[in-house]
Amino acid sequence: MSRARVRPAGFTLIEVMVALLIMAILAGLAFRGIDALARAKDAALASTDRTLKMNTGMSQFEYDMSQVVDSKVLPRPIMFDGATLRVARRSPAGLQLVLWTLQDHRWQRWASPAYIHMTDLTDAWMRSQQWGAISGSAVTVLENVDDFQVYVCNPATIATSGCSWNNVQSTQGAAPAVAPLAGTPASAVPVTSVQPNGIRILLKVPEGEITRERELPRFGGIPAT
């Protein structure tokens, strides 16, 4: 009478290796899914943070523009050289010189202390010509900015064709001081600054173009002291 062979309890080495291989594959797939979720979360947080910074910066810009004055001691109420916008603005403690500038693909803001003497404001304007001298106290509003442009609304065109936005660096924002005689060369016609009705900025970022417009107050006069 033959006895049936009894198989030992447990798993063979091959079965264990197959099970480990399956678990390794499942673990790898799970890790990839978790990693993708983590990266998506990080990207969403970065986008939200960038949007908040941009909105905060735009709100500050609008407030600065709402307080612009003509100090009568700076060359012009609104100055833009292609990279840096300079304005004088009111503050509770006096007048400030405010810069909005693009440096190393970073949109930055710098503000001087508030002054009550115009000579101090003039000194701040002279010092601001050297970015290295004031950059340490500047605030980076937005990074990864490729271009920064400033335009003003020419009030002479509003009645007929609406607002005409001219680059601050152009000469279109000026009007003849007196009616020129026929045949007078354009270069010989004296011009006087015309206060713009509004200001527009344009930022070029990887996501596209960002624009913001703000109506300017009537500058009025600030007596020099």
Q: Residue 43 falls within a domain, yes or no?
A: no
pLDDT at res. 139: 94
What's the farthest any 2 CA atoms get from each other in the chain? Answer: 135
pLDDT at res. 190: 34
CA 57 – CA 141 distance, rounded (Å): 6
Tally of domains within the chain: 1
Structure tokens at 104: 């190393």
Q: Residue 21 falls within a domain, yes or no?
A: no
Which domain covers residue 106, as residue numbers? 48-180+190-215
How many Cβ atoms sit within 10 Å of the Cβ of residue 224? 12
CA 124 – CA 5 distance, rounded (Å): 100
Q: Residue 17 falls within a domain, yes or no?
A: no
The pTM of this model reads 0.71
Q: Residue 154 falls within a domain, yes or no?
A: yes
Q: Are 176 and 156 in contact (CB under 8 A)?
A: no
pLDDT at res. 7: 58
Q: Residue 16 falls within a domain, yes or no?
A: no
Give the chain's residues under pLDDT 70: 1-11, 35, 38, 156-162, 170-194, 220-225
pLDDT at res. 156: 66
pLDDT at res. 175: 40
Q: Residue 130 falls within a domain, yes or no?
A: yes
**DSSP H helices in the chain:** 13-66, 118-127, 131-134, 158-161
Q: What is the DSSP string of 104-157?
A: TTEEEEEEPPPBSSHHHHHHHHHHTTSHHHHGGG-EEEEES--EEEEEEEEGGG
CA 122 – CA 117 distance, rounded (Å): 9
pLDDT at res. 144: 93
Interval 123-164: pLDDT, tens: 999 999 999 999 999 999 999 999 999 998 877 666 566 677
Q: Residue 2 falls within a domain, yes or no?
A: no
